[in-house]
Amino acid sequence: MSGSTPGLSRRGFLGTSLLFVGGVALNACTSDPTGSDSGSGDAKITLNHWYHEYGEQGTREAAMRYAADYTKANPDVAVKVTWVPGDYKTKWQSSVLTPDGPDIYEINEVTPDMVQQQQVTPLDDIIGSTKSELNEHALGALTHSGKTYGVPMIIDVMYLYYRKSLLSGASIQPPTTLTDLVAASKALTKGKTKGIFVGNDGIAGMRGVLAFSVGQQYLDGRKAVYASPEIADALTVARQLFTNNSMLLNYTTEWYQPDALISGATAISWGGMWALPALQKQIPGDFGLIPWPKHGANGKPVVILGGWSQVVNGKSKNIDAAKKYVQWLWLQNADVQKDWALSYGFHVPPRASTAASATPLQSGEAKTAVEILNQYGIRNTALWAPSVQKPYDDAVSDIIKKNADATATLTKAQQQSQQALDALPQV
């Protein structure tokens, strides 16, 4: 090192290293932080396809395999699969605000705001005649003014599980009315076992079924209608579960995991069909499933539909290519749909013909689940947006947990829900 210009070389070094650091930072900003895998290099179009992180082993590999198969059949189109861990909803929501959002992504329901802001695009042309085969309630959460904005990928079915041994040990029949359920839960609460588990807050799995269980609805078109005497009564009865100490609360896992049922911490639990494999493995023969029981003279048992649907970003530069890919993947390719729904976890393929030909759904508890799904399955429409739902959720919490007057609380909440509904764009 020459001794004559030490200062200069030091500055030079500093400048270079700053540039280097800046370059690294810039590079880090432009590369995809979620970690993704791209398809072939010589394709003309690259479609970005986002999935949330499915918990089941093998799903990610399956998603990549489908994408690779598509590129094999259509060499012009490469599909870049991005597997998004963590809080998927906020991630896709912020990503579709930019021009570089995914071309194809999955959602649970399409809100009017999503339509208004072109976060989605109508898919009726690719759904076509398949529509009659798709579950109407699954489509209801994706449809506005007759246009369908998504293709259901899987249907998740939610209902009550119970431990056969615990019920027969106490000489209790599976409950068919809400009043029975309250009595059964009380009778089943013994020692370290509680009667019922609907979520750690005592509400989560239950609030969404009560209106349906009295034979009514939350929304009638663009009108909030849940402040009825029947629903208020159902809430008041359901409150007894919370107050008479028969509810499991603050357990270490949530209702969507079957652990509380397997460990015997609860005798009855709200749960989903995805838990069937675990239950069959851990407590074979010792569990049954029933719909949420009805309440009142016009009551109906309730099975809730959930699940994921695929949408195409309305701001995508390759809408047509994306639509074609979605059509190939989730409408034409029955093998993919069966594989996706049943090879890793346990869900119902949304297409009736595919579901009917799926062998794992032909026997045992799975068969019962599909039967009660077809008989009682229901879910809210696409207008039950988060802002509309929030006042109801808060009202239920006040009624169940703080003994607020059911009718008055619901009436007030219904006004707020109506305001939120009116604020939703007409699409």
Binding site for another protein (CB under 8 A): 11, 14-15, 18, 21-22, 25, 89-90, 93, 97, 111, 113-114, 116-117, 119, 192, 199-204, 245, 248-252, 254-256, 265, 385-387, 390-391, 393-394, 397-398, 401-403, 425
Structure tokens at 345: 């976890």
Exposure of 280 by Cβ count < 10 A (0-12 exposed, 13-18 middle, 19+ buried)?
A: middle
Pure H helices in 153-228? 164-169, 178-188, 210-213
Report the DSSP pairing between strands 219-220 and 223-224. antiparallel
Q: How far apart are CA 144 and CA 141, in angstroms?
A: 9
Which residue in 84, 74, 73 sits closest to 48, CA to CA? 84
Pure H helices in 75-135? 88-95, 112-116, 124-127
As measured in angstroms, the least distance from the Cβ of 258 to another protein is 14
Q: CB-wise, 120 or 358, nearer to another protein?
A: 120
Q: CB-wise, 130 or 236, nearer to another protein?
A: 236
As measured in angstroms, the least distance from the Cβ of 268 to another protein is 17
As measured in angstroms, the least distance from the Cβ of 18 to another protein is 6
Q: CB-wise, 365 or 398, nearer to another protein?
A: 398
As measured in angstroms, the least distance from the Cβ of 223 to another protein is 20
Do the Cβ atoms of 397 and 198 come closer than 8 Å? no
Q: CB-wise, 25 or 408, nearer to another protein?
A: 25
Amino acid at 157: V
The C-alpha angle 382, 385, 389, rounded to 5 degrees, equals: 125
Q: CB-wise, 30 or 250, nearer to another protein?
A: 250
As measured in angstroms, the least distance from the Cβ of 235 to another protein is 14
Q: CB-wise, 20 or 367, nearer to another protein?
A: 20
As measured in angstroms, the least distance from the Cβ of 200 to another protein is 5
Q: 6: helix, coil or strand?
A: helix
